[in-house]
Amino acid sequence: MEPEDWEIPENLQPHPNDYRFDLERTLRAVVGLRANVPADAFTAATLGTERIGNGAVIREDGLVLTIGYLITEAETVWIITADGRAVPAHPLGFDAASGLGLVQALGRLDLPALELGDSGTLATGTEAIMAAGGGRRHAIETRIVNRQEFAGYWEYVLDNAIFTAPAHPFWSGSALISTAGKLLGTGSLILQQGDGKRRMDMNMVVPVDCLPPVLDELLTLGRPKAPPRPWLGLYAMEAEEGIVIGGLAETGPAARAGLRQGDRIIGVGDEDVSDLAALWRKIWQAGPAGATVLLRVGRDGSRMAVRITSADRQSFLRAPKLH
């Protein structure tokens, strides 16, 4: 479905009379993004070669905050404004720890910029707006339903993620905006909570407070200056039998070390692990990228220890081309 082919039901859209700031002007700062990635790129098989999402203008010179997976290894990026203009852009940087990414417009946007808010003090029940590019018809009134740790299967942990409902259907890179008109976070995922009878769809949002500590480094280096974490290239999930490997990066360290889909991860070094967050944190404690990680694994009723020489994930990725 193309972004232009849908809209949020009118009764769920924010209404200008309900806010003390200029809602229409604020929503103009939320833009669409289209990125094209070469077919032989490392992430093409998992994230696709044509990626569509959103971003928020955070500086009037055309700096746009988005979610990093939209622009990873992108060869071309276009910013789509609410009035239908397409402006070329350059992917500037990506913070693997938070998942945030930055894009710089290569032409004039002539759009307002969103001021960064304070996402650290957000409490459950707080009302907000979740907006995709395209103005009010692509915005939904939502609220914070939870603040808690989130662990992703792709070697990712966010300490204090924001969860919102109702969920926005076009969440990637969408902007979470406070009732004061400030940017609170960037949309990352849609999740489902509940049983078969009652289910609630939620968005997981990366708090904007993750940006300031790494902003200058993303602008100048394209990545944080801190030593990269050890990366194994495995995709794991929590199951009844424990933590199970659901897939492997084909040329990643874990695959080269002989791990297989279906292997059960019992522990890291001498310590057992029972959830994803603990698994990733134990791996990161091994040292910077390149450190050896010892995983204790169960396979076909037997147990074994596998030593894996970790890597810097970014070394597998195409660097952005300079324009």
* pLDDT above 80 (res 321): no
Confidence of residue 177 (pLDDT cuts 50, 70, 90): very high
Is the pLDDT higher at 195 or at 258?
258
* pLDDT above 60 (res 3): no
The per-residue pLDDT for 1 is: 47
* pLDDT above 60 (res 118): yes
- pLDDT digits 0-9 by tens, 202-217: 999 999 999 999 999 9
Percentage of the chain modeled with pLDDT above 70: 96
Which residues make Cβ contacts (< 8 Å) with residue 144, sequence separation at least 6?
Answer: 122, 123, 124, 125, 126, 128, 162, 163, 164
Reduce the DSSP state of residue 183 to 3 states and report it. strand
Bond into 9 cis (ω within 30): no
Q: Which of 119, 14, 143, 32 lies closest to 79, judged by CA?
A: 32
How far CA 291 is from CA of 129, 234, 288, 309, 310, in Å, comes to: 43, 16, 6, 6, 6
How far CA 266 is from CA of 11, 284, 298, in Å, comes to: 49, 16, 7
The per-residue pLDDT for 323 is: 52
Q: Which residue has the tokens 């999402």?
A: 53
The per-residue pLDDT for 200 is: 87
Class of the CATH-defined domain 1-226 = mainly beta
Q: Measure the CA–CA gap between 11 and 15, rounded to whole angstroms.
A: 9
> What is the mean pLDDT of the segment spanning 131-138?
97
> What is the mean pLDDT of the segment spanning 260-269?
97
* pLDDT above 90 (res 185): yes
The per-residue pLDDT for 4 is: 61
Average pLDDT, the chain: 95
> What is the mean pLDDT of the segment spanning 239-245?
94
Every domain of the chain and the residues it spans: 1-226, 234-316
The per-residue pLDDT for 269 is: 96
Q: What would the CATH number be for the domain defined by 234-316?
A: 2.30.42.10
Contact assessment for residue 142 and residue 165, using Cβ atoms and an 8 Å cutoff: yes
The per-residue pLDDT for 6 is: 84
